């Protein structure tokens, strides 16, 4: 019986543990120093806003681990002795392993700003960060957030829920515009401002200014403005947390270097989740994948590689989601911020909080979808993209992808109308209906919409 040790009890490590257990009776130990039990990092914001308690963010009840013979060790790994195959823990104990899986996640980026280590200045990634945020924001009335990504807007929403005045500094000229096309990005800009958040675009952080007690007094922008505040959120992305690998002989660059089987340079050492950096291959540059979904897929894929078929990890058709305050966002396939050679059909609701974008290539083959304030069906979009369906094909049966709740207003007709206006020679007729019913009618042979994610 092998001894599998996993460092990190986030979604990557825990998913690996669960799937290894499904496939084998080997001994499984998961070491985590953040919390005793696995919780959902994506729900950190909801704890702060009072939507949920910490207990409710745990996806499994506490008895689950013992029942599934997954040993949880609440400790911190200080050093990996890859020669002896032994871990040295903060509690002075050691733990030996046969296979080691590193799933240590990320740390918030800091770019050497002056004042970045003052009290009241922090990122948001871990439970400890959340606890710090609770202390740092108690009783304050002004905050500044630096960095225009997903954590930034979540932090803004969190602070607003406590009635704290928020200024949001975004270096780019529009929110998240390295990912979102201009229209979606502009929609989020408007939505942020509608929520009473002071959005400052094209604004860089110059320095964070201290008060007399080691706390923060204000930030100074690149333009020289001073914004007084008692809290600064640094949300300019995250980087792999690889401190544990120092001096172990495990090769790292940005993250732990792995191939597409998650294998590090040393035998029996693997890395998954945010902390893994896939080495460059012929087709691709080296890259990290820092999403909840990819971490989960890594965990499941590694279990299959170790205990099933040794098949290279393939991320498949990209998908992601987020929520910008009240606007849900889903994306499937390829939707670049700048289209460059691709075309797109974009429709926006007059209310300005819903939009649909379908991206296609010169052969009219659909490559991706962006949805703002509208829900589409993952498997249907994925199927259309995989099968390289054309825009007319997709538009005719667009209702099949509709995943909005019953009685919601439907906008397939508007999208088809806007296509017809642009392409009168290819005018289309929408098949009525939506969701499950239309889906069945179109593909009677598919008996289920199987999802195994």
* Nearer of residues 162 and 239 to other proteins, judged by Cβ: 162
Q: How far apart are CA 260 and CA 240, in angstroms?
A: 17
Nearest approach in angstroms of CB 318 to other proteins is 11
Min dist. Cβ of residue 49 to other proteins (A): 5
If one counts every other C-beta atom within 10 angstroms of the C-beta of residue 365, the result is: 18
Among 251, 266, 325, 342, binds other proteins (CB under 8 A): 325
- Which among 206-214, 265-273, 413-421, 433-441 is the span making contact with other proteins, rule CB under 8 A? 433-441
Both structure tokens of 11: 């979604």
Binding of residue 403 to other proteins (CB under 8 A): yes
266 or 293: CB nearest other proteins: 293
CA gap 8, 76 in Å, rounded:
9
Q: How many Å apart are CA 316 and CA 310, to the nearest integer?
A: 17
DSSP 221: E
The only residue of 408, 422, 426, 432 in contact with other proteins, by rule CB under 8 A: 408
How many contiguous H segments (helices) and E segments (strands) does the chain have? 11, 26
Torsions phi, psi for 189 (to 5 deg): -55, -50
- Least distance between other proteins and beta carbon 66 (Å): 14
Least distance to other proteins, CB of residue 406, Å: 5
- Asked if 319 is part of the footprint of other proteins (rule: CB under 8 A), the reply reads yes
By CB under 8 A, is residue 387 in contact with other proteins? Answer: no
Q: Does 59 bind other proteins (CB under 8 A)?
A: yes
State the DSSP code for 36.
S
Site for other proteins in 25-54 (CB under 8 A): 35-36, 40, 42-43, 46-54
Kindly compute the dihedral angle of the four CA atoms of residues 82, 87, 88, 91, in this order, to the nearest 10 degrees. 170
Binding of other proteins by 378 (CB under 8 A): yes
What is the nearest approach in angstroms of other proteins to the Cβ of residue 311? 18
What residues numbered 100-159 form the site for other proteins, per CB under 8 A? 127, 130-131, 134, 138-139
**C-beta of 97 vs 403, nearer to other proteins:** 403
Give whichever of 2 and 195 is closer to other proteins, judged by the CB atom. 195
451 binds other proteins (CB under 8 A): yes
Which parts of 157-186 interact with other proteins (CB under 8 A)?
Answer: 161-163
C-alpha span between 37 and 60 (Å, rounded): 9
Least Å distance, CB 163 to other proteins, is 4
Tell me how far apart the alpha carbons of residues 290 and 276 are, in angstroms, rounded to a whole number.
Answer: 9
Q: Using CB under 8 A, which of 310, 406, 421, 445 touches other proteins? A: 406
- By CB under 8 A, is residue 75 in contact with other proteins? no
DSSP 73-103: EE--EEEEETTTTEEEETTS-EEE-SEEEE-
Distances (CA, A) of 370 to 41, 97, 132, 355: 24, 44, 35, 8
Q: Which of 341, 363, 407, 445 binds other proteins (CB under 8 A)?
A: 407
Partnered with residue 121 across adjacent β-strands are 232
Q: Measured from the CB atom, is 19 or 85 closer to other proteins?
A: 19
SS (H, E, C) 258-310: ECCCCECCCCCEEECHHHEEECCCCCCCCEECCCHHHHHHHHHHHHHHHHCCC
User: In whole angstroms, how far apart are CA 417 and each of 22, 413, 421, 422?
Assistant: 49, 6, 6, 9
* Region 289-318 residues binding other proteins, contact defined as CB under 8 A: 292-293, 296-297
Nearer to other proteins, 55 or 284 (CB): 55
Indicate the residue among 280 and 453 with the shorter CB distance to other proteins. Answer: 453
Whether the CA torsion 119, 122, 126, 129 is positive or negative: it is positive
User: Cα(448)–Cα(450) distance, rounded to whole angstroms?
Assistant: 5
Binding status of residue 58 toward other proteins by CB under 8 A:
yes
Least separation in angstroms between residue 203's CB and other proteins is 25
Considering the rule CB under 8 A, would residue 352 count as an interface residue with other proteins? Answer: no
- Which three-class secondary structure state does DSSP give residue 107? strand
Pick left, alpha or beta for residue 230 (phi over 0 → left; psi -120 to 50 → alpha; otherwise beta): alpha
Smallest distance, Å, CB 247 to other proteins?
31
Indicate the residue among 40 and 420 with the shorter CB distance to other proteins. Answer: 40
For position 453 contacting other proteins by CB under 8 A, the verdict is yes
Instruction: Name the site residues for other proteins (rule: CB under 8 A).
Output: 11, 35-36, 40, 42-43, 46-59, 61, 127, 130-131, 134, 138-139, 161-163, 194-195, 292-293, 296-297, 319, 321-323, 325-326, 328, 330, 375, 377-379, 382, 403-409, 435-437, 440, 447-453
């Amino acid at each position: 019986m092998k001894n599998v040790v996993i460092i990190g009890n986030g979604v990557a490590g825990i998913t690996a543990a669960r799937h290894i257990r499904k496939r084998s009776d080997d001994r499984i130990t998961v070491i985590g120093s953040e919390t005793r039990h696995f919780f959902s990092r994506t729900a950190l914001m909801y704890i702060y806003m009072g939507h949920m308690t910490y207990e409710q963010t745990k996806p499994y009840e506490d008895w689950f681990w013992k029942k599934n013979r997954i040993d949880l060790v609440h400790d911190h790994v200080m050093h990996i002795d890859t020669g002896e195959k032994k871990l040295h823990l903060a509690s002075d104990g050691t733990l030996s392993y046969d296979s080691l899986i590193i799933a240590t996640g990320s740390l918030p980026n800091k770019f050497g700003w002056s004042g970045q280590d003052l009290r009241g200045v922090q990122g948001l990634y871990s439970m400890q960060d959340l606890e710090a945020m609770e202390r740092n924001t108690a009783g304050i009335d002004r905050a500044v957030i630096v960095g225009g990504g997903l954590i930034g807007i979540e932090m803004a929403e969190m602070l607003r829920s406590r009635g704290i005045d928020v200024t949001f500094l975004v270096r780019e000229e529009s929110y998240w515009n390295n990912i979102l096309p201009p229209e979606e990005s502009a929609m989020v800009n408007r939505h942020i401002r509608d929520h009473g958040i002071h959005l400052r675009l094209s604004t860089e952080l110059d320095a964070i200014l201290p008060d007399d007690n080691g706390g923060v007094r204000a930030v100074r922008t690149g333009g020289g403005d001073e914004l007084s505040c008692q809290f600064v959120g640094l949300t300019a992305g995250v980087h792999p947390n690889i401190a544990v690998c120092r001096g172990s002989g495990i090769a790292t660059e940005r993250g732990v270097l792995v191939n597409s089987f998650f294998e590090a340079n040393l035998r029996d050492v693997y890395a998954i989740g945010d902390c893994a950096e896939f080495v460059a291959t012929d087709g691709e540059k080296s890259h990290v994948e820092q999403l909840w979904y990819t971490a989960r897929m890594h965990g499941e894929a590694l279990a299959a590689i170790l205990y099933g078929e040794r098949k290279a990890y393939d991320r498949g058709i990209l998908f992601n989601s987020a929520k910008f305050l009240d606007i849900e966002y889903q994306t499937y396939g390829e939707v670049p911020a700048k289209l460059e050679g691709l075309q797109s059909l974009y429709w926006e609701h007059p209310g300005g909080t819903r939009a649909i974008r379908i991206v296609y290539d010169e052969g009219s083959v659909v490559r991706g979808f962006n949805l703002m304030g509208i829900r589409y069906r993952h498997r249907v979009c994925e199927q259309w993209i995989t099968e390289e369906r054309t825009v007319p094909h997709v538009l005719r049966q667009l209702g099949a992808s509709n995943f909005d709740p019953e009685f919601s207003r439907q906008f397939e007709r508007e999208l088809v109308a806007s296509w017809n206006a642009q392409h009168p020679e290819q005018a289309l007729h929408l098949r009525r209906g939506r969701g499950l019913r239309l889906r069945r009618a179109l593909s009677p042979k598919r008996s289920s919409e199987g999802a195994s994610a």
